[in-house]
Amino acid sequence: MKIIFTTKGNTWDSHMDPRFGRAEMFLVYDDSNDTLQEVLNSETESMEHGAGLQTSKKVLELNADVIITGNGAGQKALEILKSVDAKMYVGAGDMSVKEAYDAFKSNKLQLQF
């Protein structure tokens, strides 16, 4: 299973970024081979408009099964994300990446879709 976290750093101890569209970066965790990959999102943060759509595109390209974030995606991004078979979990904005992963594993995060 591939999980995308929206984060502010590249380790398990980094803070989650509660934002989806303008998230600083993603960490992609693949539990089949226990790897953590960093994907920068800085060019999206500096867009005037349309950050959510651009980030959704990137998420689709990464082909994840689960997305974990804080506040969730906005309406336009949701329309795109719903077209694929991924699940988005919200409410992890105040956690570290590790805490967010544990919360997800123990079903403590809310499902946005």
Partner 1 sequence: MREVVVISGKGGTGKTSFSAAFSYLEGKNAVVCDCDVDAANMHLLLDASFDNQKDFKSGELAIINPDMCTNCGECFEVCRFGAISKEPNFHIVDDISCEGCSYCFRVCPFDAISMKTQKAGDIYTSDIKNGAKMVHAKLGFAAENSGKLVAKVKSEAKILALQEDKGYVITDGSPGIGCPVISSLSGANLVVLVTEATVSGLHDLKRVYELTQTFNLNVVCIINKYDLNHVVTTKIEDFLIKEKVEVVAKIGYDENFTKAMSLAKTIVEFDIDCELSQSIKQIWEKIKKRLQD
Binding of residue 10 to partner 1 (CB under 8 A): no
Q: Which is nearer to partner 1, 2 or 58 (CB)?
A: 58
What pairs with residue 23 in β-bridges? none
Sign for the pseudo-dihedral over CA of 41, 68, 53, 63:
positive
Q: Is 19 in the site for partner 1 (CB under 8 A)?
A: yes
Of the residues 45, 58, 60, 98, which one makes contact with partner 1 according to CB under 8 A: 45
69: tokens are: 């974030």
Does 3 bind partner 1 (CB under 8 A)? Our answer is: no
x-or-dash string of contact with partner 1, 51-90, rule CB under 8 A = xx-----------------xxxxxx--x-----------x
Nearer to partner 1, 35 or 83 (CB): 83
Long-range interactions of 106-113: CB distance < 8 A, separation 24+ = 109/68, 111/87, 112/72, 112/73, 112/78, 112/88, 113/78, 113/81, 113/82, 113/87, 113/88
Binding residues for partner 1, rule: CB under 8 A, are 17-19, 21-22, 45-52, 70-75, 78, 90-91, 93, 110, 112
